[in-house]
Structure 1
Amino acid sequence: MTKRPRKPPTPLLIDENAPLQSRPVKRRDPKQPHLPFDPMPDRVEPCLALLKSKPPQGDEWSYEIKWDGYRLAVHIEPTGVRIITRGGHDWTHRFPAIADAAKALGPTTMILDGEAVVLDEQGRSDFGLLQNSLGASGKAGGKLPSRNSILYAFDLLYLDGHDLRGLEYAARRHLLEDALDEQTGAIRISEELEADPDDFLAHACRLGLEGIIAKHRDRPYRSGRTGDWLKIKCIQSDSFAIIGYEPSTALPGAIASLLLGGRYRDGYKYVGSVGTGFKHDVARSLKKQLDKLKTKLPPVRVPGKNLVLTAPALVAEIEYRAWTNDGKLRHPSFKGLRDPEDLSETFRLPD
C-alpha cells in the first residue's frame, strides 16, 4: 500500500514575505463536545473541617498537619492577585510575600485554598507569631503587612478557566501538586502523609502541633462543615469575643484576666475568663484597647466585682482543655487577638 503524496508546502513556509491569509471558519461539528470556560468566582465560601475526637480509618481518607494560622483563598487572575480571608475580606496588602509568590505562578489563573502561617524555630506554625507579624497586639492595631508568613496550600479550586470544585479531592490534589512543584518560598504544598492516623495524631501531639486534618478523597469541594473534612486536635483552640476584663492589682495599667463570650442565638453567652498566656506588655496593650470599648450596656451579664465590661469588638484566640458542666472553658490560655475585621471566626455555641 502506497502512501498518499504529501502536499507542497504553503507559501508561508517558503516565502516569509507572502501575505497571511485565513481560511473560512467552519461550523462546529454538533457531535463534538462543547468545552466552555467557567467564569472565575469572585469568592468561594470555604469547606470547613468538622471536629472529631478520633481520626477516621480507611483508604478513602488522606491525612495532613493542621496548620495554626489564617485561612486564605489566593485568587490568581489575569488582572492581578487577590488574597481573600475566610470572612471575605481582601487582605492582599497584608501578605505581600504570598502575593509576590502568587504572581510568579502566572500567567496561569487559579484559586488556591490554604492557610497562612508563621513558623517558629522548630518549624511549627505559631498563631501568636503570625499575629505579631500582623501587628495585632501592638500600636499598629493589626494593620501591619506580614512579610515572613507562608501559605501552605492544600486545595485547588480553579485552574485555567475550569472550576474544579465538582472534581473529587484526589483529582484536585493531583492538579495542585502539578501546579506547585516547588517546596520553598512563600507558597508551599501542605503535604499528605501516609501513616496510620492514630500514630500520626500521637506524633503530631508529641511535636506540639495543633492536630491533624483528614479529607475524604472521593468528595467534591463543598462549602461549609459537611463532614468531608475532619479535624482532630491535640488541644482545643477556638475564637471568643472579649466582653470585658478584670484589672490587675499587681501590675498597674494592665489586665489580670479577660472575660470571654461565645455567640449564642442572636447575642452572646459568657463562657468564662482567661488569665494566662499574655506577657506584661500585652496585658497593658489589651487594657488600652479595651478601655476604648467600655459600655454600660454589656452583651451579657457577668458575675463578679470590679469588672470592666466592653462591647464585643475584639476576638481572642483561646486554647483550652475541655468544657465544664456549666458551659465554661476549662484551663484556657490566651494565644493572641484575631483581626477585628474577622469577627466571623467567633465560636458559636449550640442552641
Structure 2
Amino acid sequence: MARASSKKPRDLPSIDPMPARVDPCLATLVNKPPKGPDWAYEVKWDGYRLAVHIEPGRVRILTRGGYDWTERFPTIVDDARRLAVKTAILDGEAVVLDEHGRSDFGMLQRALGRLPSAIEAGAIVFLSFDLLYLDGRDLRRLPLRERRRLLEPLVAGREGAVRLSEEVQADGDEFFRVACAHGLEGIIAKHVEKPYRSGRGEWWQKITCKRRDSFVVVGFEPSTVPGHLGRLLLAARQGGDLAYVGGCGTGWSHDLSRELRNLLESIATKSPAVNLRRKNAVFTEPVLVAEVEYRAWTDDGKLRHAAFKGIRPREDEATVFEIPVADQPKNN
C-alpha cells in the first residue's frame, strides 16, 4: 500500500490573494529634505498617480481614487503585458516628458484628449517607483529597499511605455536645489526601511519648489479680449461642501485661453456651487478640476500668486485640495 504523504498543508508555499485595489501611500509636504542613510530620493513627477494591475489575461489601470482608467492608457496596457510577471501591482505615475526629460502636466492633458492637441497618446509613459504585489506574494509588508530590489529587474533600462523611476543617490538638500534649478516640480524622500502603508504619513515626504494642488473650477471671469478667459474661479473641498479659495488669471497661452473659454461656456450654470457673488462672473457646473501652482495662502484663505497648469475631469476627485472643517490652509 502506498504510504500517505506526511507533508502538511502549512508546508505548501503560501499564496497571498491579489488585492482588487490598494489605497496609495501618499507623501507628506515638508519644508526641507530629511537627512540620513535611511532616506532615498526621487524626482517628483508631474502627472497622474496610477496603479497597474497585471493578471493572467488582463491588465487594469486604477487611479488614486480607485477609478478604472484602463482604456485611457492603451500603450501602458500593451507594454505591461510584456513584463516578465504572472501577476503584479506596480505603483507609479503616468507622465509625458518634454525634450529635456521633464514631466509636463499640460502635455499629458492634451495627450489624453481633453483639449485639441498634436500630442499622441503613445507619448504617455508610466514611471514605476514601487512594487506592491508579485507572482502570488503581497510585498507591502517588506521594507522599501526590498520592494525596489524586486522592482528594478522588471522595469529598469526599458524604453517602452513602462519604465523605472530612478532613485537618486545624493545629499537631499543638494538634490532639491538642482531639481528646482532645472525646472522640476520638486523631489520625494522615502524611508527605505518602512513597509508600504496606505494613506499619508511621514515615511514618504515631498519637498516642492512651489506649492501645487488641485481645485474645483466653479466659474470664470471673461477677458477684456472677446472670446478669451480672464480668470478661473476655484474652490476646495470643506466637509461635504465646496469653499471658494480665489482664482488664477495666468498660465495659459492665447490659443489655450480661447479653448478653455469654449469648454467652460459649455458647462455654464445659473446655480453657483459656492456662495459667491461677483460682477461679470460666469458660474459653471463643478465637474472640472484645475491644477494650480501658487506661493502661499492669504490670511483669509485665498490662493496667492496662483498660475494655471492643467485641467481634468473631477470624476477622480481624490486629489482635490481639502480644507479641514472650521480651519483654513496654513502657509508653509
For 2:23, which of 16, 27, 45 is the aligned residue?
A: 45
For 2:313, which of 326, 339, 346 is the aligned residue?
A: 339
Note if 1:286 corresponds to 2:266: no
CA distance in 2 between counterparts of 1:127 and 1:69 reads 5
Deviation of 1:299 after TM superposition, in Å, equals 2.0
Q: Which has the larger radius of gyration?
A: 1
CA distance in 2 between counterparts of 1:204 and 1:295 reads 42
Deviation of 1:152 after TM superposition, in Å, equals 0.8
Aligned residues: percent identity?
54
For 2:199, which of 216, 224, 237 is the aligned residue?
A: 224
CA distance in 1 between counterparts of 2:310 and 2:9 reads 59
Preserved CA contact (<8 Å) 1:113 1:153: yes
For 2:114, which of 133, 136, 160 is the aligned residue?
A: 136
| Secondary structure in structure 2 of the residue aligned to 1:200 | helix
Note if 1:64 corresponds to 2:47: no
Q: Which residue of 2 aligns with 1:97?
A: 75
Deviation of 1:291 after TM superposition, in Å, equals 2.2
Deviation of 1:285 after TM superposition, in Å, equals 2.2
Note if 1:172 corresponds to 2:131: no
**Structure 1 residues 145 and 99: CA distance shift in structure 2, 3 A:** farther
TM-score, length-normalised on structure 1? 0.87
Preserved CA contact (<8 Å) 2:85 2:134: no
Q: Which residue of 1 aligns with 2:129?
A: 154
Give the unaligned 5+ runs of structure 2: 326-332
CA distance in 2 between counterparts of 1:179 and 1:239 reads 32
Preserved CA contact (<8 Å) 1:240 1:262: yes
Q: Which residue of 2 aligns with 1:308?
A: 282
Q: Which residue of 2 aligns with 1:297?
A: 271
Preserved CA contact (<8 Å) 1:47 1:223: yes
Aligned partner of 1:235: which letter? K
CA distance in 2 between counterparts of 1:111 and 1:134 reads 23
Note if 1:235 corresponds to 2:210: yes
Deviation of 1:278 after TM superposition, in Å, equals 1.2
Aligned partner of 2:109: which letter? Q
CA distance in 1 between counterparts of 2:216 and 2:92 reads 25
- After superposition, what is the alpha-carbon deviation per residue over 1:168-213, rounded to whole angstroms, capped at 9, x for unaligned? 1111111111222433221111111111100000000000000000
In the TM superposition, 1:187-336 aligns within 5 A as: 187-250=162-225, 252-336=226-310
Aligned partner of 1:270: which letter? Y
CA distance in 2 between counterparts of 1:28 and 1:88 reads 45
CA distance in 2 between counterparts of 1:287 and 1:152 reads 33
**Structure 1 residues 32 and 45: CA distance shift in structure 2, 3 A:** closer
**Structure 1 residues 285 and 24: CA distance shift in structure 2, 3 A:** farther
Preserved CA contact (<8 Å) 1:158 1:165: yes
Preserved CA contact (<8 Å) 1:76 1:106: no
Number of corresponding residues: 325
| Secondary structure in structure 2 of the residue aligned to 1:226 | strand
Aligned partner of 2:69: which letter? W
- After superposition, what is the alpha-carbon deviation per residue over 1:312-331, rounded to whole angstroms, capped at 9, x for unaligned? 11100011111111111111
| Secondary structure in structure 1 of the residue aligned to 2:200 | coil
CA distance in 2 between counterparts of 1:100 and 1:24 reads 49
**Structure 1 residues 298 and 58: CA distance shift in structure 2, 3 A:** same
Deviation of 1:26 after TM superposition, in Å, equals 4.4
Q: Which residue of 2 aligns with 1:83?
A: 61
| Secondary structure in structure 2 of the residue aligned to 1:147 | helix
**Structure 1 residues 25 and 341: CA distance shift in structure 2, 3 A:** farther
| Secondary structure in structure 2 of the residue aligned to 1:285 | helix
Cα RMSD for the two superposed structures: 2.1
**Structure 1 residues 253 and 32: CA distance shift in structure 2, 3 A:** closer
